[in-house]
Structure 1
Amino acid sequence: MRKSIENLATSKLTGGRRHPLRIRRKYEMDRYPNEALTGAQVTVTRHVRGKNRKTALKTIDFVNLSTRDAKVKKSKILKVLENSTNNDYQRRGVITKGAILETEAGKCRVVSRPGQDGVVNAILIK
């Protein structure tokens, strides 16, 4: 995929060609979004800028659930109820930050970024 964040060579008002002052940088390159789904846990590690690594989730079946009494327990994800990020994500059951999940312990809201962090942390809601 050879896409850049900005278009360096836009056309002029007259229709003539504008030559870019520099080339595209590797750190400007986009990639397809990683969308975490429910299922047996599968993670992907990718190299990012500065010799760092990001662990992303492809599928996950458990959530780290924080309860009202400041305890964290592991709970099985049953299904994705809501996802205000995107209606298509809600239909497909994609887990993102802010998604409402149905777990064995009850409803919870995701507070981590599964596609970036490689973990699903959530807080219990009523």
Structure 2
Amino acid sequence: MRWQGKPGRKYTGGRIIRSRAKKRFELGGEDTNTLLGETNRKTAKIMGGCKKVRLLKANTAIVTDPKTKISKTVKIQTVSGNPANIHYIRRNILTKGAIIKTELGSARITNRPGQEGSVNAVLIPSTA
């Protein structure tokens, strides 16, 4: 589990002793780590009675061409770059900002698939 909130020390170097343990609603959620594969979703309850759609696996993306402003649903072939973590490339994990290879060419993911339930991307113009 991840811990969030105040650091463990004061600016003087002294320890901050927590008055109590974290409650369940104060804990962060687990990482979704959307993988490349047959599309699989899961809904999760969040604060306020709302729901989030967790995208566990995806094999298609909605890719927009910035020149023509036309969007198409295309198959994702592989993950070719990921600024969040270089090891995500090898494991084919889809996150916001990841560069994917599609049938139309390379595209950058513009949304957060683990929290929105879909993959939206913008075509990267080739510099050839």
1:64 is matched with 62
One-letter amino acid of the structure 2 residue matched with residue 93 of structure 1: N
CA–CA distance in 2 between the matches of 1:77 and 1:9?
42
CA contact (8 A) 1:4 1:28 kept: no
One-letter amino acid of the structure 1 residue matched with residue 107 of structure 2: C
Q: Which has the larger radius of gyration?
A: 1
How many corresponding residue pairs? 122
Give unpaired runs (5+ residues) of structure 1. Answer: none
Counterpart of 2:24 (choices 1, 23, 26) is 26
CA–CA distance in 2 between the matches of 1:116 and 1:23?
27
One-letter amino acid of the structure 1 residue matched with residue 59 of structure 2: D
1:108 is matched with 107
Q: TM-score, normalised by structure 1?
A: 0.84
**Identity %, equivalent residues:** 31
Residues 51-96 of structure 1: per-residue CA shift (max 9 Å, x gap) = 0100011111110010121111111000000001001212211111
Q: TM-score, normalised by structure 2?
A: 0.83
- Residue 6 of structure 1, CA deviation: 3.6
CA–CA distance in 2 between the matches of 1:100 and 1:9?
36
Superposed CA RMSD in Å reads 2.5
The runs of 4+ residues in structure 1 deviating greater than 3 Å are: 6-10
- Residue 23 of structure 1, CA deviation: 4.9
- Residue 24 of structure 1, CA deviation: 2.3
